[in-house]
Structure 1
Amino acid sequence: MEKKRKRSIKAILERRQRKAFDHKDEVMIGKIVGVHGIRGEVKVKSESDVFERQIKVLDTVPIYRGTKREELQLESMRHHKGLYIIKFKGLDDRTEAEERIGGEIWIDKNKQIELGEGEFYFLDLIGCEVFTEDGRKVGVLKGILEQPASHILEVEKEDGKEVLIPFINQFVKEVDVKNKKIVVSLIEGMEE
């Protein structure tokens, strides 16, 4: 009888970190984070300021999960509590929908819609350095939280602490995606 070779935890973790797909010519616009109801609807967290407009122009929506890629057709979509509830054709029950949790929606960069003034793809903003109007570095943008009132910039300071800045004109004065720089105006107590 052949002895099964045991893999070390390190080898398993390294294998999980390897990406099955190269997304260098793509941009992620959303992620399936849950299911809604029993009819096959999924909850999608937007990763784009223009998610709704973007997904509506696609013939099929590419979804990546681990080593799998599938193309699904959009049947319906609505906004609900900061997420999008999406029904894809062919996903007709909760079990099928649950299998898609964790799936990422990536599109070819050449299929991105034209952005208007003040619109951004979140992925392009992540990693931007954040400065005050007088040139003092606040930190680096590590994430964007979607809230009903406005998006919130999660900025990581040099000491590892986090500063939350509402993504509204009162606080965000300039966004320069090309130079990976965001200029903000902070009020007293915001950095504490």
Structure 2
Amino acid sequence: MRVGRLVKAHGLKGAIKLELYTDDPEGRFEPGATFTLQVPASSPWHGKTLTVREFRWMNSHPVAFFDGVDDRSAAEELIRAILWIDQDTQAAPTEDDAWFDHQLVGLDVVRDGVSVGRVIRVDHMPAQDLLIVQTKTDAAHGESGEVLVPFVKAIVPEVDIAGGRVVVTPPAGLFEEIPGDDAEDGDADEAAAYEAAESGAAEPHTGEPADEA
């Protein structure tokens, strides 16, 4: 599960400001804590881990120092990296209306009382998350494929883990073609979904996937 993102180099000694995805930052970022890094394959940190040397608050901002990151240049190589730890699949989220990724994957996606697909993965974007839905093949919805559903309350008003489903109220065209649309429009819709998730154009779901315990 992800616990933070590195957002900005701070000072000249390798400190990095954090975007926290945990409600226990002091516990998660105690000295010696080690994280798996999500970085581009071209990054010199690809395939490596990052270990906390020191965690502190500076002007109300969380800042961490890491082993092997001793100056600003090294810190800047890590900007936008996402920090992950092994997830305890037996643990339950501590926040109301929060879910781990493994709880969401496999759920039926229901619109107007009809199942239109299932969640196959969750893509984590900086501002909000996307549910990736494998749609069904039938006369009403056409060929199967993947639909990117922004995980926001306006589009995903209900998550029913016990019932094995999520309820969606998507805008027209998200799960089916609108007359006059073509493949290029579909590509544009997909790009727009990722852009919205990157920028936070929609209000994030208060119960977005819980990446912390």
- TM-score normalised over the length of structure 1: 0.54
Measured after TM superposition, the shift of residue 175 of structure 1 is 1.3
Once the two structures are superposed, what CA deviation does each residue of 1:140-162 show, in whole Å capped at 9, x if it has no partner? 242234354x4332323244533
**Residue 158 of structure 2 aligns to which amino acid in structure 1?**
E
Structure 1 Cα separation of the partners of residues 107 and 19 of structure 2: 21
Indicate if the aligned counterparts of 2:109 and 2:118 stay in contact, CA closer than 8 A.
Answer: yes
Measured after TM superposition, the shift of residue 134 of structure 1 is 0.8
- 1:128 matched to 2:124: no
Flag the structure with more relative contact order, 1 or 2, with Cα contacts below 8 A and sequence separation at least 6: 2
**Residue 53 of structure 1 aligns to which amino acid in structure 2?**
D
Match of 1:157 among 131, 135, 160: 135
**Residue 64 of structure 1 aligns to which amino acid in structure 2?**
T
Between Structure 1 and Structure 2, which shows a larger proportion of strand residues? 1
Identity of aligned residues (%): 17
Please show how residues 1-192 of structure 1 align to structure 2 within 5 Å.
Answer: 28-30=1-3, 36=9, 39-41=13-15, 51-58=21-28, 59-60=30-31, 61-64=33-36, 71-76=51-56, 87-90=64-67, 91-93=69-71, 94-95=73-74, 98=77, 104-107=83-86, 109=88, 114-146=93-125, 148=127, 150-158=128-136, 159=143, 161-178=145-162, 180-191=164-175, 192=177
Measured after TM superposition, the shift of residue 120 of structure 1 is 2.1
Structure 2 Cα separation of the partners of residues 108 and 143 of structure 1: 15
Measured after TM superposition, the shift of residue 104 of structure 1 is 4.8
5+ residue gaps, structure 2, are 38-45, 137-142, 178-213
Distance 1:102 1:151, change over 3 A: closer
Is the partner of 2:22 in helix, strand or coil? helix
What is the number of equivalent residue pairs in this alignment?
Answer: 155
After superposition, the CA RMSD in angstroms is: 4.3
**Residue 190 of structure 1 aligns to which amino acid in structure 2?**
L
- TM-score normalised over the length of structure 2: 0.50
